[in-house]
Amino acid sequence: MREIIFDTETTGLDPRSGHRLVEIGCVELIDRRESGRTFHAYFHPERDMPAEAEAVHGLSIQFLSDKPLFAERADELLVFLGDAPMVAHNAAFDFGFVNAELERAGRPPLDMARMCCTVQMARKLHPGAKHSLDALCTRYGIDRSHRVKHGALLDAELLAHLYIEMTGGRQIGLGLAAGTNISGRTTVILPGTATAPSRPFREPRPHAATPAELARHAEFVATLHQPLWHDSP
């Protein structure tokens, strides 16, 4: 199964207010393992960079001044994404910005049915806890010491590790049969359940003690001093 873990950086919070996408980072998973393939790009936003946004991701308009427009790399991005499910932290935010840029570039929007949100997953798994990427990395023991500022590819890589842990970890199968539940998470099917694979019948092996073993046991019990079962009720 192919999945894309991705993150974006922007000039603000709402594309409907004129804010733009300035960075995207994508990590490919195959069967819940990183394949090594990524997509990463910076984009010129065609506007200024608010100081509060720059404080979050460190991307100045000077740095972005020679970067391509989103439309120039839109097709390359769409080829990388393919039709795979797409996983993001607070996914509605990232999908909103990507689709706004695709619309500007004259490309079809991403199908929202492809969206998987790790914030929503975390709320179900850990109700009442903090659900930021930093907090969840701490909960799952994922090293984020190299994360000084937000960065789309770095955050996508951290999210890939987090997503794998939130969906059962790398050893989820342990050689047992695997299935998929309605949330899309892989689950282990234990032997003896209705959905377990059929196995050849094996005759039960005898486990009765031999006369010699029974005799040795009786000799041992006779050596016990005041055994509990001799106590009066």
Q: Which residues are catalytic?
A: 150
The reply to whether 52 sits in an annotated binding site is yes
Other C-beta atoms within 10 Å of 203: how many?
5
**Contacts of residue 94, Cβ cutoff 8 Å, sequence gap at least 6:** 6, 7, 8, 88
The reply to whether 9 sits in an annotated binding site is yes
DSSP characters over 86-153: EEETTHHHHHHHHHHHHHHTT-PPPPGGGEEEHHHHHHHHSTTS--SHHHHHHHTT---TT-SS--HH
The reply to whether 40 sits in an annotated binding site is no
The reply to whether 219 sits in an annotated binding site is no
Find the largest Cα–Cα distance for the chain: 92
- Asked if 43 contacts 69 with a C-beta cutoff of 8 angstroms, the reply is yes
The reply to whether 72 sits in an annotated binding site is no
Known binding positions for substrate: 7, 9, 52, 57, 155
Known binding positions: 7, 9, 52, 57, 155
Known binding positions for a divalent metal cation: 7, 9, 155
